[in-house]
Amino acid sequence: MPELVEYAKSKNVKIWLWAHWTDVNRQMADAFPLWEKWGIAGTKIDFMDRADQWMVNWYRNVAKSAAEHHLMLDYHGAFKPDGLRREYPNVLTREGVMGAEYNKWSARETPRHDVTLAFTRMLAGPMDYTPGGFDNVTKAEFVARNSAPMVMGTRAHQTALFVVFESAFQMVADRPGWSTAAPRSTSRWRAAAARNGTWAASPAGPRGSWSCR
């Protein structure tokens, strides 16, 4: 891993690690200091899928430990934001949303759903939606599938999500091949991702003025 981190550093890239929450729970005291030593930027913790009091407290304990070891966090498989990042700004984002991965098993993730999120879920805070699906089809053509999933809507719609959906840490969900096959689209979502961040103000004007279907 140190060799991989050094190689990434030579390319001006920082490495995040994905981890199952049960592994973090068992090994956090050893893993976080080691990751800090290696130069890991942060970790995406997944599959909590619950919001009982024990788990709410666990989020806070993990955020505190991660901050002590200069690690950023992305809580995936998470409940909606609850203000934790005000005390621990190293918590950059969390899922807490019916995001792009639902395209693997459901037809519920539609352009209309995405537009609605800008006025509902986004009120609670940043979300790890994982936009950037470039195998774009109409509703009539859509088939839910786990391998090489497709998304409803256009590439313009997917590109817009990087700007409209607030998240200090974005993950492009699709295969690299889809974006390299469409160089104009690739340049657009890279530019959009570079502009994404925490807005100083978020006035909600007419829907068509800032949300793209």
Share of the chain above pLDDT 70, in %: 83
46 is known as an active-site residue: yes
Which position has the higher pLDDT, 205 or 141?
141
- Asked whether the predicted pLDDT for residue 82 surpasses 80, the reply is yes
Name the pLDDT band for 20 (thresholds 50, 70, 90).
very high
Which residue, 74, 96, 118, sits at the end of a domain? 96
Same domain, 101 and 186: yes
Same domain, 123 and 213: yes
Same domain, 84 and 175: no
Catalytic choice (36, 82, 101, 135): 101
- Asked whether the predicted pLDDT for residue 193 surpasses 80, the reply is no
Q: Which domain holds residue 143?
A: 97-213
Q: Over the stretch 44-81, which tens digit does the pLDDT of each residue have?
A: 999 999 999 999 999 999 999 999 999 999 999 999 99
- Asked whether the predicted pLDDT for residue 153 surpasses 60, the reply is yes
Decide: helix, strand or coil at residue 202: coil
Phi, psi of 75 (to 5 degrees): -90, 110
CA distance 188 to 151: 18
Count of structural domains within the chain: 2
Catalytic choice (3, 6, 23, 46): 46
**For residue 75, what is the domain's CATH number?**
3.40.50
Give whole-number Cα distances, 110 to 77, 103, 116, 151, in Å. Answer: 20, 9, 10, 8
101 is known as an active-site residue: yes
**For residue 124, what is the domain's CATH number?**
3.20.20.70
- Asked whether the predicted pLDDT for residue 92 surpasses 90, the reply is yes
Same domain, 33 and 110: no
The answer, as to whether pTM is greater than 0.75, is: yes
Same domain, 105 and 202: yes
Residue 75's DSSP bridge partners are 45, 94
Same domain, 54 and 31: yes
Same domain, 104 and 203: yes
Same domain, 134 and 144: yes
Same domain, 129 and 172: yes
| pLDDT at residue number 206 | 46
- Asked whether the predicted pLDDT for residue 41 surpasses 70, the reply is yes
Same domain, 103 and 19: no
Rounded to the nearest integer, the mean pLDDT of the chain is 87
Determine how β-strand 136-137 pairs with β-strand 16-20. Answer: unpaired
Which residue, 96, 131, 159, sits at the end of a domain? 96
